[in-house]
Amino acid sequence: MISLGTFFTFYSKLPESLRNTIKACIPDKVMGNIYVNYKRTIADSNDCLNLPLEQVRIEVSSLCNLRCKHCASGAQYESTNREIMTPAIFKVLLEQLKEIDTLKDAVLYLGGEPLLNNHLPDFISQLHNETSIIHTRFNTNGMLLKEEISRRLLDTDLGIIQVSIDGNSPEESEQIRIGSNYDTVKNNIYNFIKLAEGYDTTINIANTQIAKSEDELLKGKPEVPLFLINDFKAEMIEPNYAMKWPGQSDQSLIDNGFRSITIDAQKDDCIHPLREMTLRSNGDCVLCCYDITGMMVIDNIQNNTVSNIWNSAEYQKIRKAIMNRDINNLPNICKGCRIFTNEKIIRC
């Protein structure tokens, strides 16, 4: 039996196309668990300093045009400052990212609507042209995916756009995603698909469902809803149950007709601070992509560099505590995260 270290050293040297084929054959969760165990081996051997930064998540806009009931941004919109990332802040970030040649992926989304930032296509182009990043993607609610911005995005080498449409029917999606309109989003996706012919950019759909009972949750993943199968290709659609975000208060859940429950199942591991840095629109570096309201700011890229923050003693200490499930040394945000609490949300 080969060690995990040997496996990942071998795997990381394979051509990208072969890596993608292997990845496609192994369910994400299994691949994630193997990877986490490998990283845990590294953490156990006190070598947290040398973990390569592979992915950066950039909140190009913390403003949002919707107020989705299941989202910590939508339901607690006033809980943090809201703004777009300016070209000046992005330039500071870009200069720092140029120095990190282990970076391969960028996600231009955190807790707002990326298409509210008109500079988004320029940011994506600059990441592709001036850093080692080769894969870019972002999530959107799809309401603003009109022809002009679609054409500008297609001219950038952007990899994936993921559009969120939730629930089991257009009506339920609009009830959860306050301010959205199913027909508008559907037509925007159809138009994007037409414009994208001949380009490498793909578009897919994230479908979040709110389970009605604990039994339903225990079945694992929800089925792809019929209304989406009727309107889109099945392989475009990725269904999931809603999770409880760190910082999402019980009161805000109840106000929206939900409640949290703890699922008695094997807990997931957290991989985020082992490979990804999360930057908010004002340059704040927060712990991870679950911190969509900026609960735990570690530093700001105007005071310190991404590289220094990633390798700092503080970040290493947190990383080690997470990897070793060391409850005493975990940041409070992790203690309230579904990774450690195993909380999901269901309807009241």
**Applying CB under 6 A, does 337 fall inside the site for ligand SF4?**
yes
Q: Is 64 in the site for ligand SF4 (CB under 6 A)?
A: yes
Task: Give me the residues paired with residue 346 across strands.
Answer: 211, 259
Q: Which helix (H) or strand (E) holds 9?
A: helix 4-13
Q: Is residue 279 near ligand SF4 by the rule CB under 6 A?
A: no
In the bound state with ligand SF4, the residue whose beta carbon lies nearer, of 157 and 276, is 276
Minimum CB distance to ligand SF4, residue 162 (Å):
11
β-pairing, 284-286 with 55-58? Answer: unpaired
Instruction: Give least dist CB 68 to ligand SF4, A.
Output: 3
Taking residue 150's Cβ as centre, other Cβ atoms within 10 Å add up to 22
Q: Which residues pair with 61 in a beta bridge?
A: 84
Is residue 333 near ligand SF4 by the rule CB under 6 A? yes
Residue 270 within binding range of ligand SF4, rule CB under 6 A = yes
In the window 112-151, what residues touch ligand SF4 (CB under 6 A)? 112-113, 141
**Is 334 a binder of ligand SF4 (CB under 6 A)?**
yes
Rounded CA separation 345/347 (Å): 7
57 binds ligand SF4 per the rule CB under 6 A: no
- Whole-angstrom distance, CA of residue 162 vs CA of residue 210: 19
Which one of residues 60, 153, 287, 346 is an interface residue with ligand SF4 (CB under 6 A)?
Answer: 287
Note whether 175 and 167 are within 8 A (CB). Answer: yes
Q: How far is the CB of 178 from ligand SF4 (least distance, A)?
A: 8
Choose the binding region for ligand SF4 from 8-16, 34-42, 150-158, 285-293 (rule: CB under 6 A): 285-293
For the segment 239-258, give every residue that binds ligand SF4 (CB under 6 A). 246
The single residue among 48, 96, 111, 222 that binds ligand SF4, judged by CB under 6 A, is 111
d(CA 247, CA 257): 17
Spell out the alpha helix ranges (H) of 45-169: 72-75, 87-97, 120-130, 147-154
CA distances from 293 to 62, 116, 158, 196, 336 (A): 9, 18, 26, 33, 14
Positions in the binding site for ligand SF4 (CB under 6 A): 64, 66-68, 71, 73-74, 111-113, 141, 164, 177, 246, 270, 272-273, 287-288, 290, 322, 333-334, 337, 339
